[in-house]
Every structure is written in C-alpha cells, then in structure tokens.
Amino acid sequence: MTTIEHRELKGITIKNLLVTIISTASIVASVVTSYLQLKNDIHDIKINQETQYRIYDIRLKVLETNVTVLQHRVDEMTNNHSPQSLIH
C-alpha cells in the first residue's frame, strides 16, 4: 500500500473510500445494465404483441369472410329448396 492509502480521516482510510467508490460504481453499472436489458426485453415483447394482434386481426377477417360465404350458400340452398320451388 502507498502512503496515501495509509492516511486516515476520523477512522476511515483512503483505501476504504476507494473500495466504497469502486463498489458503488460497480453496483450502478450493474443496475444500469439490468435496466437497459429490461427496457429492450419490454420493447421486444411489445413488438411481438403488435405482430400477434395483426395476425389475429387477419385471421378474424378471413373467418368473417368464410362465414359470409357460407351464409350465402345456406341462403341459396334454402331458396332452392323452398316449398314454392317444389310446386312449380
């Protein structure tokens, strides 16, 4: 240890201060890294959700179109097999 590390301020050595400062900087860096990773993860989840919503919307439109087509077919079948058409 150097002479500056042996100096004391009311029982606190410079070495202890350096360790405290470096430890605090390390903790801050770790917290910031975790924050940025979580922020990126949340952004990725948001994009994934938007994509899923679009897919569900397209599927819903396809199903609605299919229901409309089937309803027209049922109407045609009903009209073709009505009692009046059997009489003529």
Which amino acid, 34? S
pTM over 0.75: no
Identify whether the C-beta of residue 25 lies closer than 8 Å to the C-beta of residue 32. no
Q: Where are the domains of the chain?
A: 3-87
Tokens read off for 36: 């940025």
pLDDT for position 1: 56
Tell me which of 49 and 7 has the higher pLDDT: 49
Residue 24 confidence (pLDDT): 98
d(CA 6, CA 85): 110
Q: Is the pLDDT of residue 59 over 70?
A: yes
Model pLDDT for residues 20-52, shown as the tens digit of each residue:
999 999 999 999 999 999 999 999 999 999 999
Q: What is the pLDDT of residue 74?
A: 94
